Amino acid sequence: QVQLEESGGGLVQAGGSLRLSCAGSGRFSNLYVLGWFRQAPGKEREFVAAISGREISYADSVKGRFTISRDSVQNTVYLQMNSLEPADTAVYYCAARLGRVSDYASYYRYWGQGTQVTVSS
């Protein structure tokens, strides 16, 4: 069993920054693709960013503002979020899968509990 746990969410003013962390445990493998998704009230879960050993992908809405990275020794993935906007308000989820980077949530097998990010205007 693979376990993922997010942390680092909170309340921030527009234009501010937050850094989210997601720690993997259990049968976690460094071969997994790691991704971030988010879900706002009344909306579908949407892709934010993902990273593998050789590929990184971002949603158009966050390019130039968010940066995804990983620490293989600590089995941790990070999402640095800068220039935050009210539209970024959502619950952010960490996810993992075998295979290639993908923007389809259904392709990811393992999920964390989520962490709330709220951006005030």
pLDDT at 30 over 90: no
Cβ proximity of 86 and 18 under 8 Å: no
Q: How far apart are CA 121 and CA 103, in angstroms?
A: 28
Q: What mean pLDDT is reported for the chain?
A: 95
pLDDT digits (tens, 9 = 90+) for 54-77: 899 999 999 999 999 999 888 899
| pLDDT-derived band at 29, boundaries 50, 70, 90 | confident
